[in-house]
A = this chain, B = another copy of it.
């Protein structure tokens, strides 16, 4: 543990979460225990469904950010464990609600919790986790934290609705796309980081710096996620290729390929993503068009841009293992695309 990877050395060593993991291992273990403990309810279906998704073994990226940020700020108490749990509960609630299948989409392949327990149970257990998250924040007792996370929750919901409105709309531009991913994804990364400085009672400038780091890291994360939807190594990442394509989600790779494409290509995109009339080979053709127009590599380049901002946001903090691990996290997110 604690292997120092210099920034120049990153080309030699594939970035991983190991470094960060090692630094916050005990706290993360405490978060995992808190998650299991606080999702209990006398209503049996709630822990059943919740554990299905919570225990599905997500990366716990968001709670890790709270833990790492608090540690970077020199915090030594226990509040960050509770608040990291809140962050993960909000994320889990969002996942459950995000998976709700719309009437029109019912006949396509369905996601896990949803498919097993049904739409309604997923929605209601999401509501439970969301409410429980606020109960935990109230127990913690900081109005400042409550303010940050209630605001983040509203913005996430706005982002999700905005995404719904841009789905199947090939006219969506890069600015609007960025608005969507900032709201639906990056806002919670930002909040998760900011509350690390809040519990440590650090000055506002450090709160702002951590928020900026989280926001830009979140943008990187979602951009890369959207790239991976067109070129993941399925066996390696456990991610399915083509989900966004099948749903007609307008992500940056699509936007770039569409805008750079010929009229005939745009007709193809409109048929596939607006009308959702898809045939065998269409996904492959879409990927070919993306490659032809460098839409995937340029999306990764855009991600690098935000990664650079995230890195500089941490500039005000002195060099330390936590800072290095957090910067390494940016590279980890970007490297997922390779």
Contact = CB atoms under 8 A, between A and B. Distances in A.
A290 B131 CA distance: 38
A42 interface: yes
B161 A128 contact: yes
A-side interface size class: 35 or more
B119 A119 contact: yes
Given A146-B134, A147-B138, A103 B118 contact: yes
Nearest to A135: B150
A106 interface: yes
Contacts of A153: 127, 130-131, 134
Contacts of A137: 150
B146 A138 contact: yes
A157 B143 contact: no
Contacts of A157: 46, 124-125, 127-128, 131
A76 interface: no
A41 interface: yes
Nearest to A115: B103
Contacts of A93: 127
Given A103-B119, A131-B157, A135-B147, 8 more contacts: A46-B161, A97-B124, A101-B119, A121-B164, A124-B164, A128-B154, A137-B150, A146-B146
